[in-house]
């Protein structure tokens, strides 16, 4: 069964860094686009970033552009999100999601349970 | 950015009733090159991760009960639950993946009356 499992969340001070990981299994990871979506406590869903499966193109929301970097290691079936210069408003549950197809312009069909990032002094 | 709006904010229906949720995008998400609407519906039950119900506006995901259906095109979309069940209590989000940033609606909370 398709599974994506996030890790790496935690408590970090403003200005700090974290790297999230997402381990994928039971599908051909390299083919599919992958994405990060976050949800602040008690709030709705916010798309953060996507990396395409075809050419590895990357896309970011304006709120994280220049601070976050999405990457993938197809040999390890793992997706990453390097988060630098974290702000209080980055506090959220971060979901890893598999896209329906290789194009980033597709829906998210499998989601992990999320990893919580808390930015606070 | 494409802004997604949903109505109503919440609804409470009796078991077995029909529930309808509307979503409007600030610009068309229809791609004439492939005749597809780059639009999806997700369900998020309390304490759970979101689940994809419908993409391409009307294509139901495998395993999703057929009481869920999606319709609409361009800028106006509808999710219909034909006969509301207790397990359908959730927040429902619409999303466009036509252009970045990929944006979600604010959600519609569905409860049982």
Q: Does A114 touch chain B (CB under 8 A)?
A: yes
Give the pLDDT confidence score for residue A114 in this predicted structure.
98
Asked whether the beta carbons of residue B107 and residue A105 sit closer than 8 angstroms, the reply is no
Question: Are B79 and B91 a contacting pair, CB within 8 Å?
Answer: no
Q: Each residue of B19-50: pLDDT tens digit?
A: 999 999 999 999 999 999 999 999 999 999 99
Asked whether the beta carbons of residue A46 and residue B104 sit closer than 8 angstroms, the reply is yes
Q: Each residue of B64-111: pLDDT tens digit?
A: 999 999 999 999 999 999 999 999 999 999 999 999 999 999 999 999
Instruction: Read off φ and ψ for residue B75, nearest 5 degrees.
Output: -125, -10
Cα distances from B49 to residues A15, A42, A75, A97, B36, in angstroms, run 28, 13, 27, 10, 26
Cα–Cα distance, B56 to B43 (Å, whole number): 16
Give the pLDDT confidence score for residue A54 in this predicted structure.
76
Collapse the DSSP code of B88 into the 3-class scheme (helix H, G, I; strand E, B; otherwise coil) and give the result: helix
Mean pLDDT value across residues A63-67: 98
* Residue B8: how many other CB atoms lie within 10 Å: 11
Average pLDDT taken over every residue of chain A: 97
In percent, how much of chain B has pLDDT > 90? Answer: 100
């Amino acid at each position: 069964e398709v599974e994506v499992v996030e890790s790496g969340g935690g408590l970090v001070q403003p200005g700090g860094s974290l790297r999230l990981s997402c381990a994928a299994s039971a599908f051909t990871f390299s083919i599919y686009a992958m994405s990060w979506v976050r949800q602040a406590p008690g709030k709705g869903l916010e798309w953060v970033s996507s990396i395409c499966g075809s050419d590895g193109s990357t896309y970011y929301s304006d709120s994280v552009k220049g601070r976050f970097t999405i990457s993938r290691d197809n040999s390890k079936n793992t997706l990453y999100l390097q988060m630098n210069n974290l702000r209080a408003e980055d506090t959220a549950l971060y979901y890893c999601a598999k896209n329906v197809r290789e194009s980033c312009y597709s829906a998210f069909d499998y989601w992990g349970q999320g990893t919580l990032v808390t930015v606070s002094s | 950015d494409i802004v997604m709006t949903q109505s109503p904010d919440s609804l409470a229906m009796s078991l077995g009733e029909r529930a309808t949720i509307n979503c409007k995008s600030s610009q068309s998400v229809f791609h004439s090159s492939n005749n597809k609407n780059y639009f999806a519906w997700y369900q998020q039950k309390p304490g759970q991760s979101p689940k994809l119900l419908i993409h391409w506006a009307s294509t139901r995901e495998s395993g999703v009960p057929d009481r869920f259906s999606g319709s609409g095109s361009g800028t106006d979309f509808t999710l219909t639950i034909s006969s509301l069940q207790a397990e359908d209590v959730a927040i429902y989000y619409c999303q466009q993946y036509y252009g970045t940033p990929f944006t979600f609606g604010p959600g519609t909370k569905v409860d049982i009356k």
